[in-house]
């Protein structure tokens, strides 16, 4: 899901974050998170695009 904070800052998509910080930014990743839920109920964080 996408969030907006009290200052009006809108959470970036992964593509927007990569365009701003490149692909080597590992300590500050506030991009929209994508989750996969398996048929057994197991949840994994996945990246799209």
In the prediction, which pLDDT does 22 show? 86
Instruction: Report percent pLDDT > 70 for the chain.
Output: 92
- Domain span at residue 16 reads 1-49
CATH of the domain at 4: 2.60.40.650
3-state secondary structure of 48: coil
The tally of domains found in the chain comes to 1
Average pLDDT over residues 12-27: 82
**Range in 9-13, 23-27, 40-44 with the lowest mean pLDDT:** 23-27
- Which residue has better confidence, 43 or 24? 43
Per-residue confidence at 28, pLDDT binned at 50, 70, 90? Answer: confident
Average pLDDT over residues 43-47: 85
Q: With contact defined as beta carbons under 8 Å apart, do 28 and 21 qualify?
A: yes
């Amino acid at each position: 899901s996408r969030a907006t904070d009290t200052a009006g800052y809108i959470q970036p998509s992964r593509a927007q974050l990569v365009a701003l910080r490149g692909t080597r930014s590992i300590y500050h990743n506030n991009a929209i998170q994508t989750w996969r839920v398996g048929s057994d109920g197991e949840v994994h964080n996945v990246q799209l695009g």
